[in-house]
Amino acid sequence: MKICEKCGYESEENKEIKPGIYLCSICRQFAPSDKIEGYIQEKIDWKLLETFRKRENKNLFGMQEKAKEGKIMSRAAFGYKIVNKELVIEPTNSLIIQDIFRTFLEQNISLNQLSKKFKFSVNGIKKILKNFTYIGKIKFSGQIIQGKHPSIISSELFNKVQSKLENLNTKP
């Protein structure tokens, strides 16, 4: 068992944040990215966090069930809108999504140039180009599941873009 340094909660699910230092999921949510030692020194009884732990597990279970059913669990990706709790294609923005994918694949253009052309941040462009929603799928908890929503681009176009993105990252 791994013991949370902050609250003392014992679980195999606790994650190592520094060598030999583990935090439970609740304590990790509130942990600062810096000055972790000071945060850990302020001890708390794990029993006080049980209410949050139960709620977290209930929410995670509900999200897993929604994902298995191919339902959307967050806000609509650019190019879609939510109607009656379902993702539907938003015609104008979906054309922009198609254009972003095609432009990136067919032109010798950097992510920076692409972001300026379509008025998105570079990170926004990366998120769009890696988003499985656009091929009718949902990614949740490391799994990719067929969604109930229509795709905006083909799997073939998506896969070619993923290959090009990987090649960008492997250039010397």
**pLDDT score for 50:** 64
Residue 3 tokens read as: 């013991």
**pLDDT score for 135:** 96
- Cβ atoms of 89 and 152 within 8 Å: the answer is yes
pLDDT, averaged per 10 consecutive residues of the chain (172 residues), comes to 84 85 81 74 67 56 59 82 91 97 96 96 95 89 83 97 86 53
- Cβ atoms of 148 and 70 within 8 Å: the answer is yes
User: Whole-prediction pTM value?
Assistant: 0.61
- Structural element, H or E, at residue 163: helix 155-170
Give the other-Cβ count within 10 Å of 122's Cβ: 14
**pLDDT score for 106:** 96
Answer yes or no: CATH 3.40.50.970 is held by domain 67-170: no
Q: How far is CA 86 from CA 58, 75, 102, 130, in A?
A: 22, 11, 26, 21
